[in-house]
Amino acid sequence: MIFDIYDYPLYRPPSEANSLIIQVTLGCSHNKCTFCNMYNEKKFKIKSIEQIKKEIDFFRHQRQFVRRIFLADGDALIIKTSTLLEIANYLNEKFPENERISIYASPKSLILKTPEELKKLKEIGIKLIYIGLESGDNEILTKVNKGNTAEEFMIGIKKAKEAGFQTSVTIIAGLAGKDKIASKNHALKTAYVIQETSPTYLGILCLSLLPNTILGKQAERKEFIEANGLEIIEEIKVIIENLSINIDSPIIIRANHISNYLNLQGTLPQDKNLILNEINHALNNGNPIKRASHNSL
Ligand code: SF4
């Protein structure tokens, strides 16, 4: 029974919807971001290699064909390299048809690994790394207790790219709140980090205030004032306007998460005007409504 294997709640990026999820860690090694409640109930733990192999065996019996595998929960890259190599090796042995292994990572887990270790992990089949940047503005990163600076994110993302990984970076529009100056700083500094690191994918989420989070409580006490849909779309416009991306290292943009007020998809630099036109259309005509409230992928 799948329900006996997974420890819920279980999160994965939208693009991993059809992937086999192997839960190699439980919870998040940081677990302190003020806007996040994903792993409130879980104490971070790395599963034993014996347990992970048992679960892989279980899924091999269950699934006839697996094209993609995602290693959950949060920051699974924090696992020591020799163990990750053993996991990937076992997955390759049991799922020879699999084309890609992907994983969540943090700047810390990327910085702790040597370039040689990262290259080995890439070579064994881990191809895509998901990183939650949220903002390129250190003031906001400190306020939301992200645990890393924009500079550390840049070092981590660049290191992942140099090792040959595809990178998928997520940002949260609206994280600066309603204040116009803070919103502009968030947009400009986030655009700067994205431009400097040029990830393969950029995922744009919109902030959802969740009642059982520190940020949600700050909002209840009026210490954080939420931006409205139009203000958030305006912020996304500033981010896109300020991204000058080289044609040789394009960025695939996706703002199609349930938290988004406006669905956007395209590739920079070629679709920049198209995306900006859609944003302008929404700003001129819209009364944007989001589909659901959630900050996690
Ligand atoms: S946002 Fe990511 S790093 Fe922060 S607590 Fe949630 S899962 Fe952990």
Q: Which residues contact 160 (CB under 8 A, 6 or more apart)?
A: 105, 110, 118, 129, 131, 167
Task: Look at 50-64, 150-164, 188-202, 243-257 and tell me which has the smallest mean pLDDT.
Answer: 243-257
Of 29, 36, 145, the residue with max ligand 1 atoms within 8 A of its CB, to mutate for a pocket test, comes to: 36
Q: At what angle do helices 180-197 and 150-162 cross, to 10 degrees?
A: 20
Residue 271, pLDDT > 60, answer yes
Question: What pLDDT score does 260 carry?
Answer: 87
Q: Which of 11, 29, 30, when mutated, tests ligand 1's pocket best, judged by the most ligand atoms within 8 Å of its CB?
A: 30
What tens digit of pLDDT does each residue of 240-264 get?
999 999 889 999 999 987 888 899 9
Which DSSP helix (H) or strand (E) runs through 283? helix 272-285
In which band, very low, low, confident or very high, does the pLDDT at 80 lie, cut at 50, 70 and 90? very high
Residue found under tokens 């995306």: 275
Give the torsion sign (CA, 146, 157, 206, 186): positive
Alpha helices by DSSP H, listed for 27-75, are 49-62
Q: Which residue has the higher pLDDT, 155 or 285?
A: 155
Identity of residue 53: K
Confidence of residue 295 (pLDDT cuts 50, 70, 90): low
Lowest mean pLDDT among 9-13, 21-25, 161-165: 9-13
Ligand 1 atom with the shortest distance to the CA of 28: 8
Record the tokens describing residue 6, joined without a space: 């997974």
Phi, psi for residue 74 in degrees, rounded to 5: -70, 145
Domains recognised in the chain with CATH numbers: 14-285 (3.20.20.70)
Least confident among 69-78, 235-244, 260-269, 281-290: 281-290
Residue carrying structure tokens 């990572």 = 105
User: How many C-alpha atoms does 214 have within 13 Å on its Cβ side?
Assistant: 11
Whether the CB of 28 sits within 6 Å of ligand 1: yes
Question: Can you say how many angstroms the Cα of residue 253 is from the centroid of all Cα atoms in its chain?
Answer: 13
The CA 248 to ligand 1 mean position distance, Å, reads 32
Contacts of 175 (CB under 8 A, 6+ apart): 35, 134, 135, 140, 144, 186, 207
**3-state secondary structure (DSSP) of residue 199:** coil
Q: Is the CB of 38 under 6 A from ligand 1?
A: yes
pTM for the predicted model, two decimal places = 0.94
Q: Give yes or no for residue 212 having a pLDDT over 60.
A: yes
Q: How far is the CA of 32 from the centre of ligand 1 (A)?
A: 7
Cα(97) to ligand 1 centroid in Å equals: 32
Task: Name the token pair of 176.
Answer: 């600066």
**Residue 2 pLDDT more than 70?**
no
Ligand 1 centroid to Cα of residue 74, in Å, is 7
Q: Are 1 and 261 in contact (CB under 8 A)?
A: no
Q: What is the mean pLDDT of residues 274-288?
A: 89
Which ligand 1 atom is nearest residue 30's CA? 8
Reference 231, options 269, 262, 191; nearest CA is 262
Atom of ligand 1 nearest to the CA of 29: 8
The reported pLDDT for the residue numbered 50 is 97
Q: What is the DSSP letter of 48?
A: P
74 lines ligand 1 (CB under 6 A): yes
**Tokens 């163990």 correspond to what residue?**
83
- Is it the case that residue 76 has pLDDT exceeding 90? yes
Percent of the chain with pLDDT over 90: 87
The pLDDT of residue 285 is: 87
**What are the backbone dihedrals phi and psi of residue 170, each rounded to the nearest 5 degrees, phi first?**
-110, 140
> What is the structure's pLDDT at 290?
64
Backbone phi and psi for residue 22, each to the nearest 5 degrees, phi listed first: -110, 120
What is the length of the chain? 297
Q: Which amino acid is at 141?
A: L
Q: How far is the CA of 8 from the centre of ligand 1 (A)?
A: 16
Q: Tell me which of 11, 26, 31 to substitute to probe ligand 1's pocket, judged by most ligand atoms within 8 Å of the beta carbon.
A: 31
**What's the pLDDT tens digit per position in 125-180?**
999 999 999 999 999 999 999 999 999 999 999 999 999 999 999 999 999 999 99
CA atoms within 13 A on the CB side of 134: 26
